[in-house]
Structure 1
């Protein structure tokens, strides 16, 4: 795979304090091979369903039981006063195509904006893009094989980023023009590499509440929501609040070590605003539940709960959650089905148990659920949470 200002309470340093949660030694829970499963290729969803909330929903409602429902049934599964926390990141048109001066085609996936028009990006072919190389980008409607000599978007490779294997790119932009503005003309919304036959429009890979641009991939659990469903949830008294986590290599980077405790998550930018913290505190105080929408929502909230107490936060997190994690904020989770051996699978296992989750995945496969980004969803209700 080429795979905002806050008030004075905001934490501004990286989440170094997040090493606090302890993890129990539970044998297979700590081994990469313990998170493997076989998925038939035809179970990988290539296109989203229409309407969005007609997707299937595997409801995990107790330590031993589950139901098969539709996502539109969500208001029946939650209680008035519960709080949904959604990630309002917006996917950038982050995939760029261009050429070296030699005519060699180049593909770039931008991950993170830095200073002075510098960006971190994954590049292909990486071996041919050494420091000093100049890339000239073409617009999506340009005939492939014909680089534009008068292209207005160019970048030079400054350095290799050791943490990601990507490159630091220095973009050349006219004074007063931002690279983000140029991405609207030159970039494409990137789909994951396992989606190879999609006819989805770019808007179908955005949540209906996407607002803060900066993500290299969609927070896919949120793709099932429609405006109508959000209205129905609100009418029942189910509250909502927002966080922002810009999805990057930390979310989709594969785990490559057999001892998963040695896996190092790459940092991703997070914002948990004061109003969201206040809504969560109010929800807990009246005895209702906090339901995170997506693993990015989980990492945002748990990452901001420094020393066990949730605080407003704006910064980066490298929090890695796997079985044995001591939960601080999240009571339940809405999530899609994840790749084998992924950090996302480990996070969900921490909530419901690895053996139970893999059994549920086998049930979903047998029932012909659709998997991954454009696939169906699962909700783990608080009564099914490990240790409850």
Structure 2
């Protein structure tokens, strides 16, 4: 199967540059995975497609203000670091721009010296390992100095950085938002629970690899990036009970989906656990846990559109995307949503 099989024409003006004023007022395309039938709704209508006894699974990761703008101690030359993951103590793997400035032993400072770092290693990938020094609590220092790491296709500045967080975000650690969840409001979630739908949470810290293009021709040659996940006993029990009672597991986002399918066994059961996943889901994959999916509209030739195609069928998905372009749906992080029923 070729990467080009997942291509479609996307006008640049359909890439959403800012969130809508009201989260649940975005458009919702409902796609029947069996027939390919399409309905056009508003996201708040999602409640009509959820049944008592179903379980909605949300990723409660929280995006770190992981972009740091600083300067070289000796010369004052500008540097930008994008924190990817904490390794141990105050050591972080990061991207550096310009990379040639960030050599081993070089020291940088941020925010009038509130935060300092030294480059201690250059990895084979070209990423840097830096070690921070500071006074106080690192998370508080980062909150005061860091900026939101918006995706590269968003060119407008975000006035309120909470709009790049879900209303239920809790566990800090992501370099990008689980964007399907951005459509939910606290009021909508309460209405969903009041209807008798279960709501469970897991954590998958989204890495920047989610934005990296697939650079091979044959999808079988693609190597997925690795991301940390965590599933609690409470959520595992909820999922297993839902399955036993004949309810559906409705995953919010590709991140929740990848976590559940990593943990699920061949009998459709999950268990409490944590670890790293590099699961790559594309057509031909047999889903073990997820029945339905709420997701955004994704990049052409991305691993995300491949995952969606695995659940709803490549032909159905590409037709839905063609319809979305024709009807001027908004794409990507701040864009509109799709429900695969």
- TM-score, length basis structure 2: 0.95
Report SS of the residue matched to 1:230.
Answer: helix
CA drift of 1:64 comes to 2.6
- Report what 1:7 is aligned to: none
Q: Is the 8 A contact 1:117 1:178 kept in 2?
A: no
Could you tell me whether the CA contact under 8 Å between 1:45 and 1:374 is conserved in 2?
yes
1:339 to 2:311 alignment: no
Structure 2 counterpart of 1:59:
30
Segments of 5+ residues of structure 1 without an aligned counterpart are 1-29, 139-147, 382-388
Aligned pair partner of 2:289 in 320, 329, 349: 329
Cα RMSD for the two superposed structures: 1.4
Which residue is equivalent to 2:58?
Answer: 86
Shift in Å, 1:236: 0.9
1:180-195 alignment runs, 5 A limit: 180-195=139-154
Q: CA deviation at 1:172?
A: 1.4
Q: Give the drift of 1:376.
A: 0.2
Map 1:1-388 to 2 at 5 A. 30-61=1-32, 62-100=34-72, 101-138=74-111, 148=112, 151-163=113-125, 165-174=126-135, 177-306=136-265, 308=267, 309-381=269-341
Deviations 1:233-259 (A, max 9, x none): 111111110000011133222211111
Offset, 1:128: 2.5
Shift of 1:122: 1.1
Q: Which has the higher strand share?
A: 2
d(CA) in 2 for partners of 1:72, 1:379? 12
Q: Which moved more, 1:218-227 or 1:94-103?
A: 94-103
What is the CA–CA distance in structure 1 between the aligned matches of 2:21 and 2:90, rounded to whole Å? 38
Deviation at 1:133, TM superposition (A): 1.8
Q: Tell me the alpha carbon deviations over residues 94-125 of structure 1, each in whole angstroms, 9 at most, x when there is no partner.
A: 11001123332111111111212001111111
Give the match's secondary structure for 2:88: coil
Q: Is the 8 A contact 2:297 2:332 kept in 1?
A: yes
Aligned-pair distance for 1:82?
0.8
State the shift of 1:200 in Å. Answer: 4.1
Deviations 1:122-181 (A, max 9, x none): 11111322222212123xxxxxxxxx4xx1211111112324x3111111123xx34222
Q: Distance in 1 between matches of 2:241 and 2:231?
A: 16
Cα distance, 1:349 vs. partner?
Answer: 1.1
Deviation at 1:312, TM superposition (A): 1.4
Distance in 2 (alpha carbons) for counterparts of 1:332 and 1:200? 33
Task: Please list every run of at least 4 consecutive aligned residues from structure 1 whose deviation after the TM superposition is greater than 4 angstroms.
Answer: none
The corresponding residue for 1:22 is none
Structure 1: how far apart are the matches of 2:18 and 2:209? 25
Aligned length: 338
TM-score, L = length of structure 1? 0.84
